[in-house]
Amino acid sequence: MPGTAGSDLALFQVDAFTATPFRGNPAAVCLSENPLPEATMKAIAAEMNLSETAFVSPVRSTPASGEDYHLRWFTPLVEVPLCGHATLATAKVLFEKGLASGEIVRFATRSGILSARREGTHIVLDFPQDPPVPADVPEEVTSALGLASPAEEILLGREVLMLLLRLRSPEEVKVLSPDFARLSKIRLPYGATGVIVTAPEKSGNSRSGQTSFDFVSRYFGPWEGIDEDPVTGSAHTVLGPYWAKRLGKRRLLAFQASQRGGELHLRLPGENAPEETESRMTISGEAVIVLSGTFHL
């Protein structure tokens, strides 16, 4: 792997879920020949101060399941069990820099084996679904979020530990202005570490102007050191099955309505899917490398 001699590490910054620099969600991707100590990864992630820094190292043996790389994700404060945009960013670097041997790269992660496939200008991530279940939140949470009216539905993604609040309209989602100082002091129920707000989007158009979005969302995670994450792939493991069921669609186009914004293409398996894929989904998007260099430890 390039740039890993001695204590130097190859480092990239990638804008994910966008084809345009300075949009989407920026992630740092740090390449090393061997897994780094956890304290070092935490220190680098804090230094980068992005919503996620991905740490990638080759799998030295050849397991039967065929993983190519170890992959872990850290916010400036904590390690997270699953991250979509930093996985997309990592795959972009490995494909573009010739470090992936084919059109598919497989990662060994805390969420099991994840794969990324190059498909034209898009990278397609194979992720687990996290269908949400009914939940409730205390009034202090909805007050600190600044909701103009009560949420129409409240649910919980049990694997990613994210609360999902469905609002009445995309406008409510877009104008929401949470009090992050208040939110960060509130202990969320169920051990949740973030809040998704979402609404169906009937009339909005994608940035390409060709297709209407199916839904919009935003994600807030001050409990993880991220007030608002620009584009959150892991949140869409909850949003995908939620909206697929309610809209009766297996293919969905989503827009995360943060200030930077980003598009995500979701596909859920059909009713007659093989057993091994019925709990999976794909999340795809584009990415652009905006910075590359060397991290000196």
* Structure-block tokens of residue 74: 């850290």
DSSP state, 147?
A: -
H/E element, 184: helix 180-184
The torsion angle over the Cα atoms of residues 47, 235, 261 and 249, rounded to 10 degrees, is 160
Residue with tokens 């404060």: 77
By three-state DSSP, how is residue 295 classified?
strand
Whole-angstrom distance, CA of residue 119 vs CA of residue 29: 21
Residue 226 makes CB contacts below 8 A (sequence gap 6+) with 51, 75, 76
Q: Select which of 52, 67, 224, 263 is catalytic.
A: 52
Calculate ∠ Cα 59-61-63, nearest 5°. Answer: 90
DSSP bridge partners of 24 = none
Helix then strand then coil, in percent of the chain rounded to 5, is: 20, 40, 40
Q: What letter represents residue 192's amino acid?
A: A
Whole-angstrom distance, CA of residue 132 vs CA of residue 163: 9
Whole-angstrom distance, CA of residue 243 vs CA of residue 250: 9
Whole-angstrom distance, CA of residue 113 vs CA of residue 277: 13
H/E element, 36: none
**Is 278 a known active-site residue?**
no
Number of neighbouring beta carbons within 10 Å of residue 205: 12
Catalytic sites, residue numbers? 52
